[in-house]
Every structure is written in structure tokens, then in C-alpha cells.
Amino acid sequence: MMNVKFLYNHHGISNSIGERLKYLISKTKNEVIIMSPYISNNPLIDMIYDLNGIKLRVLTRFSLEDFLNDSSDINIIDGLVKNPNSEIRYYSNLHAKIYIIDRQKAIVTSANFTQNGMYNNLEYGVLIENNLDNMLEDINNLWNKAGVINDKKIALIQNKLDVFKKNKNQIDGIRNQVIKVDKKVVKQKKSHQYKEKNRTMSGKNYGQKEDKNHLNKINDKIVYNISEYKALNLITQLSQEKSDSFSLI
């Protein structure tokens, strides 16, 4: 028989979802699984870093947009990647939040692995004890499809963030578009759609012969299906052109 307990975060409640998860992690003997779209600094991070001899598996998103709007913290992700007992993977359209301890207890909740999610926001969840077989099977299937986050991918995102920070005044328009408009995923995990708004960009007509190699000969009403990393390069190029003629769709 499945044992289920209701969990919630309300202002003034001391026994928050974060505190319940903290207690469960403190009792871990073998493995912690964290599935959360957003991950940032919170009181449980140091505890996770110090899980000596405990296997840690983390499934999250890995999107420039999330780091730009501070939904996730690239430095926290980097710390998890460098943890010798950790394996970190990403799935771009992940929305589920699940925390599993020793494959025996699971918190299924609305709360991300962030300060607000664990402690500040009004969040609900359930603690499930035993009978996790179906859940674990599905999570393992998703895990096997997910991309691996490693030092190389961390460095790529960090470099892109540095470019954005250095050119902030030039790219605020594009940054606002990224924040306001959800990317439509074309290929699972990796690609997004981008579409040209106008033929001209920074006063140039990209149909002209001299510009035929610039940004792959952009023309009216062309939709490109490109990898996420090429998309990041495209955004950087656009920022340097000080153009607002492109939008994410």
C-alpha cells in the first residue's frame, strides 16, 4: 500500500518542503535524485555538495534564457558538475519537480530546487513512501534520453553570458525578447525556431550580393531549425549588430 503525505509551503510554516527534503537528505544512505527545471543557491546546496560517498543524479534544464533571467545559477550547476559523486543531465522541456531518496521515498511537488521554491513560495507537494517502481522506470527512461552537462558545456554557457554582460547596452532588446517569449522547441532537447521579422537589419538589405554570406543569407519568412548552441551564436551576432529586426517565435 502506498503511503502518501501532503506537503506545503505557507508563510509562517516552519516545516516547509525544503525542511522536509533536508531531513530526508540527511538520512540518505545510497543515492539522491533531483529533478528540477530551475536550480539556484539555497540552504540545501552545501548539504548536497557534502554528500560524501552518496551518488547524486540531477536532471534539469540547461537554457541560456534561464541563466539570463536568474531562474537558474550557472555557478551552482558548475559546482554540481565538479562534484565527483554527481552526474548532471539536461532535458530542455522539463517541468516536473521530483526529489527521490534511496529509491524509497519521493517528494513530488511544484517546488523548484531554489530558495523560493524550497522555502518562500506558496508550493504544494506530496511525500510518497514505497511503491516507486513505475516512477523510477519512467525517470530512468527520461534520464537515458537526456543530454550530459559537462565542463565543456558549462564553459560555453559561461562564455555566452560573459558576452551578454559585456554588451548589455547593445543587447537589452534581444534579451527582453528571450525573457518574454518562450522558445518553441523544434527538436527535443537541442533546437529552437528563429524567424526574421524584416528584410533589413541595421540599415542593410541582406538580399544584396555583398551580404550574401552574412548570417546564411537571411530572407523573408525563412524559419531556421538550428541547434541551441548555434542559436546562442546567432543571438550574439545579432547583439553586435545592434538590431531589433529579429524575434524568437
Same domain as 156, residue 77: no
Residue 65 and residue 179 in one domain: no
| Residues 131, 155 within the same domain | no
- Is residue 244, in this structure, part of any structural domain at all? no
What is the DSSP code (8-state) at residue 167? T
Do 101 and 177 share a domain, yes or no?
no
Sort 136 into a burial class: Cβ within 10 Å, 0-12 / 13-18 / 19+.
Answer: middle
Q: Are residues 50 and 125 in the same domain?
A: yes
113: left (phi over 0), alpha (psi -120 to 50) or beta: beta
Q: Does the residue 227 lie in any domain?
A: no
Q: What is the Rg, in whole angstroms, of the alpha carbon atoms belonging to the chain?
A: 21
- 144, part of any domain: yes
For 177, the enclosing helix (H) or strand (E) is helix 168-180
Q: With H, G, I as helix, E, B as strand and everything else as coil, classify residue 32.
A: strand
Q: What is the pLDDT along the chain (249 residues), one digit of tens a residue?
A: 678 999 999 866 667 899 999 999 999 999 999 999 999 999 999 999 888 889 999 999 999 989 988 999 999 999 999 999 999 999 999 999 999 999 999 999 999 999 999 999 999 999 999 899 999 999 999 999 999 999 999 999 999 888 887 776 666 666 566 655 544 433 344 444 444 344 334 444 444 444 444 444 443 333 344 455 555 556 556 554 543 443 333
For residue 158, the enclosing domain spans: 151-187
| Contact predicate 146/185, CB 8 Å | no
- The CATH number linked to 58 is 3.30.870.10
Whether residue 123 sits in one domain with residue 86: yes
- Neighbour-count burial of 70, counting CB atoms closer than 10 A to its CB (0-12 exposed, 13-18 middle, 19+ buried): exposed
* CA-CA-CA-CA dihedral for 106, 109, 113, 117, to nearest 10: -150
CB atoms within 10 A of CB 198: 13
Please count the structural domains in the chain: 2
pTM (global) more than 0.85: no
**How are beta strands 123-129 and 105-109 bridged, if at all?**
antiparallel
From 167, 187, 207, the end of a domain falls on: 187
